[in-house]
Amino acid sequence: MPVVFVHGNPETAAVWDPLLAELTPSRSDVVRLSPPGFGAPLPAGFGATPAGYHDWLAGELAAFGEPVDLVGHDLGGAHVVNVVLSHPDLVRSWVSDVLGAYDPGYEWHELARRWQTPGIGEADVAARFGGTVAERTAVLVERGMGRAVAARVAAGQDEAMGRAVLTLYRSAASGGLGLGLPLERAAARPGLAILATADHVVGTGEQRRRSAARAGARVAVLDGAGHWWMTEDPARAAAALTGFWATIR
C-alpha cells in the first residue's frame, strides 16, 4: 500500500527528504506528489484554487487503484483533508498539520494576508521568487527551514510558483480552504493531526485540537517543533507517523 506525501507552499517535494530518509527502512512504497506550480509545471488553464487542487489530487490518487496512506503539510495538508472529505474511498488513512485552519475562529497569518492584497501580493512574490537561489535559500532558513533542505527547495521556486500562490491564497480568502463539506466527514477514515507547538501559521493549539476532535483524528504533539517539523526532527516525525500507521487495522 503506497504512502503518499503532498507538500505545500512555498515548497517542492525536497522538503520531505530528511523525513523520508528516516522512513525508508520501514516503508519502501513512498510516493511524493507535487501540486501544480509547486515543484511541478503549472499547466495553462489549471485552476490553482482549493477546488482545482482537490480535483488534481483526487485524480492522482485514483490512479493508484487502491487506498493509500496520505500525508499532507501546509497547503498540501488542506488538499489532503479536502480529498478525505469528498473521496474517503481513495485513502486508508490520512495525516495533516493544518486542521486549525478549518476552525471557525481561524485567522490568516500575516504573510497570507499580504499575498491576498492586490499590489502588495504581487510585489512580495516577485521579490520572494525572483531572487537568486542563495537569496531564496536565506529567506527559507530565516523562516525556520534547515539550510540543506532550503537550498534544494529554493532551486525549484520560480515565477509560476508565485502565480499559483497568489491565485490560491486569494481564492481561499473568499471561500476558505475547505470545499464547504463538514469536517466531521473526515472521521470516515483514521486520521492524525500533527500539532507542532511552535508552528504559528496554522491556528492555535486549541483550534487545532478542536478541529482534530471534529475530524475524529488522533493528535501527535511535536513539542517545540515549528512549521517545517519534518526537517527539524525527522526521526521524531517518522516515529509519530509509523506509530499511527501501526494502529490501523
**Rounded CA Rg of the chain:** 17
pLDDT-derived band at 174 (thresholds 50, 70, 90) equals: confident
- For the purposes of burial, counting CB atoms within 10 Å of the CB of 10, is it exposed (0-12), middle (13-18) or buried (19 or more)? buried
CATH number at residue 29: 3.40.50.1820
> What is the model's pLDDT at position 188?
97
Per the structure, the complete domain to which residue 77 belongs is given by: 3-109+180-245
Please say whether the beta carbons of 48 and 167 come within 8 A: yes
Q: What is the mean pLDDT of residues 198-207?
A: 96
Q: What is the mean pLDDT of residues 123-129?
A: 94
**How far apart are alpha carbons 241 and 249 in whole angstroms?**
15
Q: Is residue 98 part of a domain?
A: yes
Query: What is the tally of structural domains in the chain?
Result: 1
- Asked if pLDDT for residue 125 goes beyond 90, the answer is yes
Q: Is residue 101 part of a domain?
A: yes
Place of cell 484554487: 49
Q: What is the pLDDT of residues 3-50, one digit of tens each?
A: 999 999 999 999 999 999 999 877 779 999 999 999 999 999 999 999
Q: What is the pLDDT of residues 84-105, one digit of tens each?
A: 999 999 999 999 999 999 999 9
Q: Is residue 69 part of a domain?
A: yes
Q: Is residue 30 part of a domain?
A: yes
> What is the model's pLDDT at position 25?
79
